[in-house]
Amino acid sequence: MKTELGKVLHVCKTLQQLSLTPKKFFIAFLETSNIDLAIRRQYWGTLTGWDLTLDVLHAIRNLTYKSDPQNPLWRNFILDEA
């Protein structure tokens, strides 16, 4: 398992075996106060990690547009947060 794709597929299979969807895992990873997880995400909101955090946000945005470019869900979400 040398490629990034191979590793991602392995993680997805493991999540499935644990009855976790990628979204449920991602939410738990981001919101859990466990110190081991907090350490792993400590740079997400800092200058050090901001570029990759933006990559994550852009990837989510791109998924919403890919399925339906006219879908207002992402735009409405951003406007609600502004």
Q: What interhelical angle do 50-67 and 73-81 show, nearest 10? A: 140
Distance (Å, rounded) from C-alpha 40 to C-alpha 45?
12
The mean per-residue pLDDT over the stretch 51-80 comes to 88
Looking at residue 9, its pLDDT comes to: 96
Tokens 């597929």: give the residue: 9
- Above 90 in pLDDT, residue 59? yes
Helix H or strand E segment including 63: helix 50-67
- Parse the chain into domains and list their residue ranges: 1-42, 43-82
Given a contact cutoff of 8 angstroms between Cβ atoms, the answer to whether 64 and 72 are in contact is no
Its pTM stands at 0.79
Nearest-CA neighbor of 75 among 63, 23, 54, 64?
A: 64
